[in-house]
Amino acid sequence: LHLELPWVEKYRPQKLGDVVGNTETIQALRRIAQDGNVPHLILSGTPGIGKTTAVLCLARELLGGDGRLLKEAVLELNASDDRGIDVVRNMIKTFAQKKVTLPHNRHKMVILDEADSITASAQQALRRTMEIYSNSTRFVFCCNQSSKIIEPLQSRCSILRFNRLRDEDVLLVLKRILHHEHVHTYTDDGLGALIFTCDGDMRQAVNNLQSVYYGFGLVSSDNVFKLVDMPNPLVVRRMLTDALRGHVDAALAVLRDLCGKGYSALDIVNVCFRVCKTIGGDGVDGGRQLEVLRRVGECQMRVVEGVGSYLQLSGMVVGVAGVEG
C-alpha cells in the first residue's frame, strides 16, 4: 500500500544543512551538534519557520541518525498532549530517570513544542527537574513568544531566535518541490502570490502550493487568491493608486467590489497595509508613503477594535486621497 504524504512532511529537512533561512541560528545549532554538549535551549519565533524541524535535525545529528536511539532518547510533547503539572511530575520525570546507553558526550532530550501554552504551575515544576537531571537530560523549548516562558526557566536556557523566512528562501524551496514532483503547470506570478500570502511562513506556503496544484491543476495567482480567500494585492494596489491620484470614485468602486465579494474589513485593511510598504515604486515619495501608512494603520486599529464597517474603509480611502504630495 503506497500512501502519499503531505508535501510539508515529505520534504521536511532531515539534516541541519538542509534547513533554509536563519543562517546564524542554524550555524549555532550545527556547532552544538559537532560539540555534543547541548545546553538547555529556547527556540522562539513565529509559526512555520523551522523551529521544530531544526531541533529534530539537531537530535538526529547528535545521535547519528540511529532510529532506535531517537525513539529511546528523545521525548517530544506538543500542544496536543496534556502538559499540566501531572505530566511534568510523571511522564517527564520518569523519562529523565530512564537509563539509556548513549554515545560519549550525548544526552537524552525533552522537546517541548509550543511551550508558551504550558501552564505556569507546570513550568514552575520543571525548574527543579531540569537541575536534578541536567547531567543526563537536556530540555528544548520551542515557542512563539519567549516572554510566555517564566523567567527562572529562561535564565537556565540559551535563547535562539528564528526570524521570518526571506522571500528568496521560500521561492527556493517551492521550486525544489515543484521539480521533484514533476509539476510544470505553474506561473511566476503564481509563485509570487504564494510567497505574498504566506508572509514568511514556509509551512503555509508548501501547504498552499499542494492545495492549489491538486485543487486547480494550475498554480496561478488567481487560483492562489481563490484558495486562501485573500483580496488580490494587485486590485488593492489599484485602489490605493487611484486614491492617491485623486480618483476617489474609482477607488471607492474597487472597494465596493471587494466588499461585495465577501472579504472582511480586516482582510482588506491588512492587505492594504502590506501593499503600502511597496507602493513607493509607483512614483510615491517617502513622505507620502509614510502618511498613507499612517492612515491605513489608524483604520487597521479601529477595525481590530471591532469597528469593521464599510464606512471605516471608505474613510481610509478618502483619507489616502487627501494625502498631498
Give residue limits of the domains in the chain. 7-161, 167-228, 233-321
Which pLDDT belongs to residue 223? 92
**What are the two backbone dihedrals, phi and then psi, of residue 165, each rounded to the nearest 5 degrees?**
-75, 145
Does residue 1 surpass a pLDDT of 70? no
Least trusted range by pLDDT, from 68-72, 219-223, 277-281, 317-321: 277-281
Does residue 116 surpass a pLDDT of 90? no
- Decide the pairing of beta strands 108-112 and 74-77: parallel
Which pLDDT belongs to residue 3? 60
- Domain 167-228, CATH number (from 1.10.8.60, 1.10.3110.10, 3.40.50.920, 2.130.10.10): 1.10.8.60
Which pLDDT belongs to residue 6? 92
> What is the strand order of the sheet 137-143 is part of?
74-77, 108-112, 137-143, 41-44, 158-161
11-26 mean pLDDT: 92
Confidence of residue 121 (pLDDT cuts 50, 70, 90): confident
91-98 mean pLDDT: 89
Confidence of residue 44 (pLDDT cuts 50, 70, 90): very high
Which pLDDT belongs to residue 14? 92
| Residue 164 near residue 200 (C-beta atoms within 8 A) | yes
| Residue 130 near residue 115 (C-beta atoms within 8 A) | no
Q: What is the CATH number of domain 233-321?
A: 1.20.272.10
- Topology given in CATH for the domain delimited by 7-161: Rossmann fold (3.40.50)
Does residue 282 surpass a pLDDT of 70? no
CA distance 180 to 188: 18
Which pLDDT belongs to residue 313? 92
CA distance 208 to 190: 11
Q: Which three cell numbers stand for residue 73?
A: 532518547
**What DSSP line would sit under 120-147, residue for residue?**
HHHHHHHHHHHHHTTTTEEEEEEES-GG
Q: String of b and e for 168-200 (b: at least 16 CB within 10 Å)?
A: ebbbebbeebbeeeeeeebeeebbebbbbbbbb
CA distance 37 to 106: 7
Confidence of residue 325 (pLDDT cuts 50, 70, 90): low
Which pLDDT belongs to residue 8? 93
Name the residue with higher pLDDT: 162 or 79: 162
Give percent of the chain with pLDDT exceeding 70.
Answer: 97
Does residue 252 surpass a pLDDT of 50? yes
Q: Coil, strand, or helix at residue 201?
A: coil
Confidence of residue 203 (pLDDT cuts 50, 70, 90): very high
- The model's pLDDT over 143-181, given as tens digits with 9 standing for 90+, comes to 999 898 999 999 999 999 999 999 999 999 999 999 999
Give me the helices (H) in the chain, please. Answer: 7-10, 23-35, 51-62, 67-73, 85-87, 93-97, 120-132, 151-155, 167-180, 188-198, 202-216, 221-228, 233-244, 248-260, 265-276, 286-304, 310-321
Which pLDDT belongs to residue 324? 74
Q: Which of 72, 73, 50 is nearest to 204 (CA)?
A: 50
- The model's pLDDT over 211-248, given as tens digits with 9 standing for 90+, comes to 999 999 999 999 998 898 889 998 999 999 999 888 99
Look over the chain and give the mean of its residue pLDDT values, rounded to a whole number: 89
The whole-angstrom distance between residue 282's C-alpha and the CA centroid of its chain comes to: 30
| Residue 80 near residue 74 (C-beta atoms within 8 A) | no
Least trusted range by pLDDT, from 12-21, 118-127, 190-199, 233-242: 118-127
